[in-house]
Amino acid sequence: MKQNENCIMLSDGWILYDDGTLQENSASGYGTIKKPDNEFERSRLIVIYWQKKLELCVAEFDDKKATWLAAARNRLGKKGNPGGPPADTTEAVALLTALKAKVHHCQEMLSEAEQNLERNTPTQLRKNIDIAEQNRARIADFVGSIEKIEI
């Protein structure tokens, strides 16, 4: 999965755009474009977009931070002159701060997308989801009750 400014490359060969549009990514270039059939489907795809975008942004932040920290700790462990830090401190802090801001932006956009999905979820589907959640709670209660019984 690759990241671009307004699209995400999905592992199944499709590109998902921030407006919920899907585009086939084939060997011969970009192919079929699929627009969502309704607002619910569009909202669902936008949630997926922001979930994936958030995952990528968090990974980018974590990777950069971990790389710099590992390099710095490695240098601290060397005998003799370890040299300087792996990057200019001001630039490193600025980059991590910018990456952190991207993560927060994605979190906000995901929250908005989830609220929009909630508003666009059909009534019958909402009822089915509610029933499923009630059943999960009942099963969890059952498991908790059974696990407490010991010889």
Query: In the predicted model, is pLDDT for residue 29 greater than 80?
Result: no
Using a pLDDT cut of 90, give the percent of the chain over it: 66
Q: What is the DSSP letter of 13?
A: S
pLDDT digits (tens, 9 = 90+) for 47-57: 999 999 999 99
The predicted model scores a pTM of: 0.77
46/9 Cα distance (integer angstroms): 14
The string of DSSP codes covering 24-66 is EEETTEEEEEE--SSHHHHHHHHHHHHHHHHHHHHHHHHHHHH
Q: Would you call 141 helix, strand, or coil by DSSP?
A: helix
Query: In the predicted model, is pLDDT for residue 4 greater than 70?
Result: no
